[in-house]
Amino acid sequence: MIQLATLSVDFFAGWCVWSLGHNLGHRWWHDEMRKGKQTFYAHGEREHHRVYDRHGQRTYQVNEDPKELFISFPLPLIAAAGLLFIAAYGWLRTWSHCPGFATGLYVFMVLDHQLHKLFHKETRLAGVLGWLQQMHLTHHATHNKNYFFVSGFIWDVLFRTAVIRPELTLVNVPKSG
């Protein structure tokens, strides 16, 4: 029983590090975009992470925002950076806690990555996924709402930046097919 409780704490810590880090990273990035900072990752563009749009959408993207960089941090790079957090966790809690922490970190990292691609490839999703897709589009279209992505929704609720019923339409999602 103690082992299951310890594993649960480690898994929860992995989720927490991923989801809170993701949320705070987006806040920082959006703040720099809103201020029009000129960096390798932001230059005042209205949106970001459009690399998941369907192939052949480049004309649509450029027409929508000619200055947008269409960059993303690829999953392998983020996953490799996650090893630093795993090492730090092992150093702080002992190495036997790393598997549970790493599982929590990577499960939610991959979940968010896969859902992000789905939200950009499909025009309109139904049900809960459609609701999350709407919230995600609010995230893309503003610089002050829904930094959460799916696994970190709780942080936006706690920080009061969640828009539960987005008023935006799905005009920013390319046609699927």
Domain count within the chain: 1
Residue of 97, 111, 108, 83 lying closest to 8 (CA atoms): 97
- How high does pLDDT run on average in the chain? 77
pLDDT higher than 90, residue 12: yes
Residue 51 is part of which domain span?
2-172
Q: Residue 163 falls within a domain, yes or no?
A: yes
CB burial of 69-106 (b: ≥16 within 10 Å; e: otherwise) equals ebebeeeeebeeebeebbeebbeebeeebbebbbebbb
For residue 45, what pLDDT band results from cuts at 50, 70 and 90?
low
Cα separations in angstroms, 60 against 2, 65, 170: 55, 9, 15
Q: Looking at this protein, which amino acid is placed at residue 88?
A: A
Q: For residue 37, is it within any domain?
A: yes
pLDDT in the model for residue 171: 44
CA dihedral for 88, 89, 94, 96, sign (positive or negative) = negative
Q: Give a yes or no: residue 72 inside a domain.
A: yes
Average pLDDT over residues 158-169: 72
User: Is the whole-model pTM more than 0.85?
Assistant: no
Q: Is residue 146 part of a domain?
A: yes
pLDDT reported for residue 176: 41
Instruction: Give a yes or no: residue 177 inside a domain.
Output: no
| pLDDT tops 50 at residue 174 | no
Using alpha carbons, select from 140, 117, 113, 111 the residue that is nearest to residue 54: 117
**pLDDT greater than 80 at residue 68:** no
